[in-house]
């Protein structure tokens, strides 16, 4: 079977909240943004565990990889899908898919239940949502698809060409700043400071993925302003 016709190695369709109240908008938009990121690169999103699927190889009864990270400290059970993906992506013809259709339906957690009417965008930016710029940035990093080639020093300063200790957190800020750019000209200018590489290349996919995610967010913001 050719790589184009082979089934996904890992996939998820995310989740959607039941529609009794307006909090389902939070899960709808979160899933749209994750799918937009994954359209550029399937490793740029965090795959939620409730419907995270991993392909079992022919002739096997289970996967050989594990959710358990080697050297994990007692009580450290965070981000299990990333631990697994970092192992599974070493397989031949690896493919990661996060489509926007057919999510699982769940009851909204307590965090969202206070919204009896349509919430504003600021109300939806809780920790787990990719509307939260920090969560989105961590998702781009988490599966090990990108590497550091410089250290981001902020919107108004040039990058340091060296990768310094702490560059991980500084470069997270690049993704957050790019996602939050308030106009297209600033986005294009800031994108020139991209401090990431991918497979030895320039990491342009990071910029294109954030462009897609930003467009999703801005569309929702415009829609809310129009309907106020």
pLDDT tens column, 24-62: 777 788 888 999 999 999 999 999 888 898 999 888 888
> What angle, rounded to 10 degrees, do the helices at 24-40 and 204-226 form?
150
Look up tokens 């309907």; give the residue: 227
User: What is the rounded CA–CA span in Å between residue 197 and residue 187?
Assistant: 19
Cα separations (Å) of 15 from 24, 43, 104, 105, 199?
10, 18, 5, 6, 31
The pLDDT mean for the chain works out to 83
pLDDT tens column, 173-193: 999 999 999 889 999 999 999
* Total-model pTM: 0.84
């Amino acid at each position: 079977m050719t790589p184009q016709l082979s089934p996904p190695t890992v996939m998820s369709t995310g989740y959607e909240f039941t529609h009794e109240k307006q909090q389902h908008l939070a899960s709808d938009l979160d899933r749209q943004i994750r799918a937009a990121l994954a359209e550029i690169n399937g490793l740029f999103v965090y795959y939620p565990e409730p419907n995270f699927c991993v392909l079992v190889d022919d002739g096997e009864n289970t996967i050989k990889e594990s959710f358990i990270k080697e050297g994990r400290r007692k009580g450290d059970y965070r981000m299990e899908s990333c631990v697994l993906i970092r192992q599974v992506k070493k397989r031949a013809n690896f493919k990661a898919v996060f489509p926007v259709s057919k999510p699982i339906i769940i009851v909204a957690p307590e965090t969202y239940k206070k919204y009896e009417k349509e919430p504003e965008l600021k109300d939806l930016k809780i920790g787990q949502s990719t509307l939260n710029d920090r969560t989105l940035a961590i998702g781009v990093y988490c599966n090990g698809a990108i590497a550091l080639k410089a250290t981001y020093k902020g919107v108004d300063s040039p990058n340091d060409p060296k990768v310094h200790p702490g560059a991980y957190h500084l470069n997270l800020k690049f993704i957050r700043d790019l996602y939050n750019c308030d106009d297209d000209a600033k986005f294009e200018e800031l994108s020139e400071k991209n401090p990431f590489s991918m497979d030895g290349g320039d990491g342009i996919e990071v910029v294109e993925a954030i462009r897609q995610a930003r467009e999703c967010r801005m569309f929702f913001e415009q829609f809310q302003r129009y309907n106020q």
